[in-house]
Structures are given as structure tokens and as C-alpha cells.
């Protein structure tokens, strides 16, 4: 039983790490998207102003 518990802990830890990586990736993607949108808005404003 103790060995089995150790395996379970490892599996849970791995799953949490993977979930964390996915969330960080999503955050990074969201930040990039927001950055791109603001750059696009700036460019559009500059074009309209000229």
C-alpha cells in the first residue's frame, strides 16, 4: 500500500505540473493576443489620423 500511495502522489504531482504549464501557456497566449490587438488598434488609429 505505501508504494501505491507514492505512485499516486507522483501521478497527482505530475498532473498538477502539466495543468500549471497549460495555464501558463494560455496566459502567455492571452497576453500576446492582447498585445497584438492593442498594436493593431494603435496602427489603425495612426493610419486614420494620417
Grid coordinates of 19: 495543468
The domain locations on the chain are 25-50
Displacement of CA 16 from its chain's centroid (Å): 14
The pLDDT of residue 1: 66
Predicted confidence band of residue 4 (pLDDT cuts 50, 70, 90): confident
Decide if pLDDT at 34 tops 70: yes
Q: For residue 20, what pLDDT is reported?
A: 95
Query: How far apart are alpha carbons 36 and 50 in whole angstroms?
Result: 21
- Does the predicted TM-score (pTM) go above 0.85? no
Reported as a pLDDT band with limits 50, 70 and 90, residue 5 is confident
Task: Report whether pLDDT(6) > 80.
Answer: yes
Phi, psi of 2 (to 5 degrees): -55, -40
| No. of helices (H) and no. of strands (E), the chain | 1, 0
Amino acid at each position: 500500500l505505501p508504494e501505491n500511495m507514492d505512485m499516486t502522489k507522483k501521478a497527482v504531482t505530475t498532473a498538477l505540473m502539466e495543468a500549471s504549464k497549460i495555464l501558463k501557456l494560455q496566459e502567455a497566449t492571452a497576453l500576446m493576443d492582447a498585445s497584438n490587438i492593442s498594436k493593431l488598434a494603435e496602427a489603425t488609429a495612426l493610419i486614420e489620423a494620417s
